[in-house]
Structure formats: structure tokens, C-alpha cells
Amino acid sequence: MNRPDLNPGDLTDEELVHFAKMGKQDAFATIYERFLPAVYARVRFKVPETDVEDVTQEVFIAILKSLHGFRGQSKFSTWIRTITNRKIVDYHRARVVAATDSNDYDHTEFGEQPDRDEFLERQDDLSIIQSALSELPQNYQDILLMRFVDEMPFNEIARQNGQSIDATKSLFRRSIAALSEKMQEENE
């Protein structure tokens, strides 16, 4: 990073982590630029629009604070996805507590009705897919986000999930079919 001919954008994720741990701010900035789109899109598919920016910010602050704990036992992208998923779970858990505390929980179906109404009003593809996706089983949601948001190839998804490539492609097809059904229901 001190060499003038070395561009942070050319470094691998693990090299960037190494430099960021050494206190190089531009290395961390490059990590941020590299992973923001996937983190933001993942959060956006799982969290109401009004809170997407806050949750994304929390994800990156968590990455910043725990960067020294990353030992390279998994791929850095996997580590980031784990942190993102954990923050999304924390967010929904906090909302359950808040809803219970304010006694709103009895009157609304958590995670569905208020957000769903908001999405349907906007009537764009993103909102319809957000809503449809949230109704799919967790393993269907996971494989769709891994392929579309993280742009992981099928063989990498298979490796991460400990499945054969055929089983992974089959799961993907069933997930797309289920998503298609849900979208159709949303449109009706």
C-alpha cells in the first residue's frame, strides 16, 4: 500500500484485510466499496426500506470493529455475509421486542403486514420481489440471494452448502419456481 504503483483495487480481499489491520484507511475504504452493493442489496431484501441504510451502516461498523478477529479460516466474503445475516437477525429481534413492548404485536402480523402494505403501494418489481421473497422458506431465500446478490457461481454455492452441484441447481430451480408463484400471487 505504500508503493505508489500498487492500486488497492487490484488487491485480493485477504490482502486488503491485512493492510486494513495494519491501520491503512484506504484498504478499509476499498473493502467498503467492494462489498457495499452486495451487503446493501441483501439488507434491502430483508429489512423495511426506512431502516436499510442504518442496518447496512451497522454491518460495516461491526466489520470495522471485528476486523482484527478475522483469521482467514473462511473466505472474507463468507465472513461478511455471516455478519450481515447476524445484523439482520438482530434487527428483526429488536423489532419483535419493540412491538411486544408497545402492544402493537397483537394487532399486526410482524414482518408482514406493515411492510407488505408499504411495498405493495409502490408496486415496482423490487417491492413485489421483496415481499414474495420474505414468504419463501429460508433455504430458498439463501440460495437466491447467494446467486443474485452475492453473484456466487453454482459450484461455490454447492461447496458452501455442502451439497452436490446437481442438488444445488435443483434447489435453485425450485426456489425460482416458488418465487414465481409468490410473485404471481402478489400481482393478483
Partner 1 sequence: MNKRGLSDAQKLDEQLAAFTDQVLSEDEVVEMMEDVTQQDEFIKLQKAVLRMKAATRQAYPDVEVRKRIRNHLLAEWEAGNKLKVSAFKDRFGLQKFPAITLAGGFAFVVLLGFLLIFWPLPEDMPLGATAGDGPVSLIPFFVFMGVAAVAIILWFRHKR
Q: Which span sits near partner 1 by CB under 8 A: 78-86, 90-98, 100-108, 176-184? A: 176-184
Residue placing its CB nearer to partner 1 in the complex, 105 or 156: 156
Which residue in 25, 74, 113, 164 binds partner 1 (CB under 8 A)? Answer: 25
Q: Which stretch binds partner 1 (CB under 8 A): 85-93, 96-104, 107-115, 172-180?
A: 172-180
Contact call for residue 32 and partner 1 (CB under 8 A):
yes
Residues 42-101 that bind partner 1 (CB under 8 A): 44-45, 53, 56-57, 60-61, 64-65
Candidates 2, 70, 7, 63; CA nearest to 35 is 63
Residue 148 within binding range of partner 1, rule CB under 8 A = yes
Which residues contact partner 1 (rule: CB under 8 A)?
A: 23, 25, 28-29, 32-33, 36-37, 40-41, 44-45, 53, 56-57, 60-61, 64-65, 124-126, 129-130, 144, 147-149, 151, 153-154, 166, 169-170, 172-173, 176-177, 179-180, 183
